[in-house]
Amino acid sequence: MKPSSKKTGLRQALNSVFLRCAAIMAVTTIVVAGVLSVQSGRLANQLAVKAVGDQAEKSVDALAVELVKPIRFKASDKITEVGQNTLDIAGESGQALLVIDASGAVLSSFGAVDALGGDFADMAAQALAEGHHVAAENGLWQATPVMLSADEPPIGAAVIAYSADVALASVREQNQMILMTAVTVFVVMMAITVLVLKRVLGRPLATMSGALQTVTDGDYDSKVPMVERADEFGAIARNLDQLVTKLHDGRVAEEQRVIQMQLQSRVVDHLGQSLDVLAEGVLNRDIHEEFPENYEQLRHNYNRAVQSLRVVIGEVRDASSDILGNADSIARASDDLSRRTETQAATLEESAAALEELLNSVNTAAQNASNADAAARNARDIARQNGEVMHSAISAMAEIEKSSEQISEIITVIDDIAFQTNLLALNAGVEAARAGESGKGFAVVASEVRGLAQRSAEAAQQIKDLIIGSADQVQNGVQLVEKAGKALEEVVGKVAEISDMVSEIARGAGEQAQGLEEINVGIANLDRVTQQNAAMVEEATAAAHTLRADSGGLRDKVALFQTDSSEPASMAAAAPSRPATAGKAAAS
């Protein structure tokens, strides 16, 4: 049991908001401090390396000044002494030093020149060749030319190499001291922070948890703590206080609801018993026991409804007998009306058949009159066309007569031409006779021309006689055609009169047929309405018989209700046998 309780306590401790907040603050502080430590260490290393480089630059510049005279006068001992002093001044940071002359020959070297490689010696040559300062390896290697003056060429060069290991080792020692100090401060601040959080966060959370447990246990009367605080715990406490108030009100409302349910259940029991009695047909029993105040109106409403139902059932019972008698009278009257309607429908159907035959005869006569009208119209049109042909013939005769007159005039002109030709030929013959032998040929021609002119005159006279005879015949033909045209016009007028009379006959026959058609439609509608009335009368008769049967059943059913206290209560028990009796009465 103990290991289990330990595990449960450890799990609760790990799930604590207080410990989670402390852990988040610790992780945040560690991360921020770690990042700042790394950045500061990196910056310190860079500053240490830069400081060593600056020292190397200053050393090589001072060395170049001190080597001007020794290099100029080839004082090897002085060069060695100056170089050794410079390297000694550098201390543990100085690695190597190299001095060359203007030709590139090594005048002196100190330290681990060979270990640094050829790049170190090449820096001196580069500074000699370029005539200015040269740096490498992050400024730890510095080379400078040795010059008498700025305008003269270099007489030599010096290069020095520094190491930043000593400076970096010092920086690391400082970083370790800073880290130890930071860890110590972090532990102390975390302890203080945990104590402050326990006071500021842990205690209010425990208090709030206890208040929630109190509410969970159903205690709505205890006061909620920390309501007066202005922080988030105060807001939570006030919300919890409102929730406790609502839960308390809900509990009170629930108790009231239980009491109301008990009262309602008692009321429902009374109403149920009364409704059971009412369902058995007993209408003379009211509810006399008083209900609670809220349900008293319901009891009065029930009693009033039963009283109203008792009055209505009594009135229905009295009226059912009257309805039964009236329904019997309606049924007999409906039977009589049904028989008369059937007789009327048969007579109307025979009249409709006779009228249909008459309508067919009138339609046939109207059709024949219409055909005669069409034939008369065709005859009138033909006569009119013949009259137009006669007018055309008269016009043609007139044109022929006019042409004959023109031909006569032309023939007269031809006759005159022949007479003139004959005179010319006669004159030509006289002139030919005068001419003697030389005019014989011309006399023969004149004789022929004269003969031709004579024959032309004779032919023209014959044609003229024929034309005159023809003109007389044409004149006679024109007169005959005019007479025929007048006779044909009289025929057209008579035919038009006959056609108008036939049209009037056809129109009258059509109107008569239309009138008979309307009468026939009216008779058909009257027949249909009569048939419908007959069907409705049959339905009314059936409904009257049904009403009579239902009225008897209604009277029997209403008799089942007990509306007077003097009536025996056993009438309700006899209810099942009465519908059978009512059914037999309806069947009879």
Output DSSP code: residue 220: -
Which amino acid would we find at residue 502? V
Distances in whole angstroms, Cα of residue 102 to Cα of each of 148, 149, 210, 409, 548: 12, 14, 93, 159, 154
Class (C level, CATH) for 15-203: alpha beta
pLDDT at 121: 81
pLDDT at 124: 83
Q: Judge whether 208 and 237 are in contact, CB under 8 Å.
A: yes
Count Cβ atoms within 10 A of the Cβ of residue 229 and give its class: 0-12 exposed, 13-18 middle, 19 or more buried. Answer: middle
pLDDT at 8: 56
Output DSSP code: residue 574: T
242 φ, ψ to 5°? -65, -40
User: Tens place of pLDDT for every residue, the chain, 588 residues?
Assistant: 445 555 555 555 556 666 777 778 778 888 887 787 777 777 877 787 788 888 888 888 888 888 888 888 888 888 888 888 888 888 888 888 888 888 888 888 888 777 787 788 888 888 888 888 888 888 888 898 988 877 888 889 989 988 888 877 888 888 888 888 888 888 888 888 878 877 777 778 778 778 788 878 877 777 878 778 887 778 888 888 888 888 878 877 887 788 778 777 777 877 787 787 777 777 667 777 777 777 778 777 878 887 787 777 777 777 767 776 777 777 677 777 777 777 777 776 777 777 677 767 767 766 776 776 777 677 767 767 776 776 777 777 677 767 767 777 777 777 777 777 777 777 777 777 777 776 667 677 767 777 777 777 777 777 777 777 776 777 777 777 677 777 767 776 766 777 677 677 767 767 777 776 777 777 777 777 777 777 777 777 787 778 777 777 776 766 666 666 544 433 333 333 333 333 333 333
d(CA 340, CA 352): 18
pTM for the full predicted model: 0.34
Q: Where are the domains of the chain?
A: 15-203, 298-561
Q: Assess if CATH 3.30.70.250 describes domain 298-561.
A: no
74 φ, ψ to 5°? 60, 40
Q: What is the DSSP string of 460-510?
A: HHHHHHHHHHHHHHHHHHHHHHHHHHHHHHHHHHHHHHHHHHHHHHHHHHH
**Residue whose structure tokens are 């058995």:** 280
